[in-house]
Structure 1
Amino acid sequence: MGCDGGTIPKRHELVKGPKKVEKVDKNAELAAKWKYCALSQEKLRRPIVSCDLGRLYNKDAIIEYLLDKSAERPNTEAVAHIRGIKDIKELNLTDNPEWEGERRNSKGDRYEDIHCGMFICPVVGLEMNGKHRFCYLQSCGCVFSDRAMKEVKTEICHKCGDPFKEEDIIVLNGTKEEVEELREKMEERRAKAKTKKSKKSKAAEAVSTPSETKDATQSPQVDVAGRSSLQNGSETSQSAVAGPSGSSSSSKDIKSSMTSATTKRSIQDMEERSEVFKSLFTSHSSAKRTKEQTSNWVTHTPYHF
């Protein structure tokens, strides 16, 4: 209780004051962003992907989320803007040779560097541990430090050689202001994509409608005795060049063909048809052959039957 045995109590032991505001450990905050998945809170392992807002995820966790969005997860707000696989990009990271990972001896008999990162910048060599700004290219997925992008200004990727634009640069684990800017850019890109899709659909409809009207205006061809109609080149040219007299003759031919189709006359009995036209059908005398003229059937074997 105090005041016994010569002890002197202090003020904070007797008077209860306001509680101190708990501060977030910066090292723990950086480790949570750069070493753990933003969705599953598991350690980052290849393949690692990132979204348009610059957050790091395990690809397996994102696929599980997209397959079953109704399941209860603790950090669904971090992936609410991800609609499909197209909204994420697999990162092309450079391993840190000093990172031991699970091979590291954890007996506590040596100094452990908490700030050691799993990946580094391939140009400058800075570790990706949260102390330095890092970004990735949305076109190819390569990751670089902000210092490398500023010192070596090029329009070609330093690692794979693919061209890129300034719009393709996305900051990883940026501040709140940077995340808001990235969100605005993301919404603008999606709005432009919607307008392009609507324009393409309208153009496809405009192309399909005139073809349908042309098919409707074309007159159907008349078949003779249920078979495909065959016309000579001389007859078609005469019908195209002739005036009203030609139209009357064509109408007569159509009527005669219609009557022949209804009465089912033989084509060989039609006097208005030429011999050339009649020879096209199997009922013509030229198509009939004797047994001596016909050849034997040949099979895949050398025997003849």
Structure 2
Amino acid sequence: MSQDGKSGPRPCLLCGSPNEPSVEHIIPQALWKRFGLDPDHDELARFRTDLCITHNQATSVLHQRTEMMDLIETGSPVTKKTLQHLGDWIVWITLLLSLARGRGVLGVEASRQLLLRRFDKLHAGTPKGVRVYAALVDDSVEPTESETTPFVLALKGDSRVLLDEKGAPIGFSVREGPINASESIRLGRVVLLVVGSTYSSGDDHEQRIDQAVARVGLQRIFPPEKALPKMEPTPIDMTDVSQLFTVIPDGADNSLMPEALRAFATWDDPGGIVH
């Protein structure tokens, strides 16, 4: 039975091949077992998908990092190596999860092409422009309630961002699209946030993204800082993390949008276009 509950195998999520079907545990079975969970439980079905044997074996290499798994389970060791592995791992995991559900920080086809490039052509390395943030979770302290205003981002690859002939943003469509501004997840002692590649809002754009994320308790681990970040257990509100960034401008802080989109923003445009 395929992972959507229908009888019979589905084609490989990456290449579309119907041959040699297999179940891929996007979050590795070994990690679920560390938490005392059954990897095949129905409640974890959203973390499984269908891959051919070739791609299943290729993606499984991502999970063969014992110290990184220790960090997720226990909160240590925090080293440049484990944070580097964690940042790389969660980006590819996010792309697989996004592709499986048809929505993510890079869109379906962009995610598929990057995954095929990574696992077929062995082009390692995190996709350009993607940023990853992390925090260790302290469950002994309840996070304080906050009313975080989301920041709207203009993501590269989002068809809602209208471009001129030089590729510069000039407008925005409010129609639905397959892009999320960010993806967040908690696993064990770690909270992770992946932010897609964005069009610049001006000077210090990336630094201001980092500052926005710091407000909800996370620190950047990719691109890596020169100094090892101090990862100490922190009370984290996952709602704040998951709602920090959006691609829908209504009710959001637009200071991280390109100036052209902020300056001419008229959200009540009857055609649904900002220009």
TM over 0.5: no
From the two aligned structures, give the one with the greater strand fraction: 2
Larger radius of gyration between Structure 1 and Structure 2: 1
Q: What's the TM-score once normalised by structure 1's chain length?
A: 0.20
- Higher-helix-fraction structure: 1
TM-score using structure 2 length: 0.22
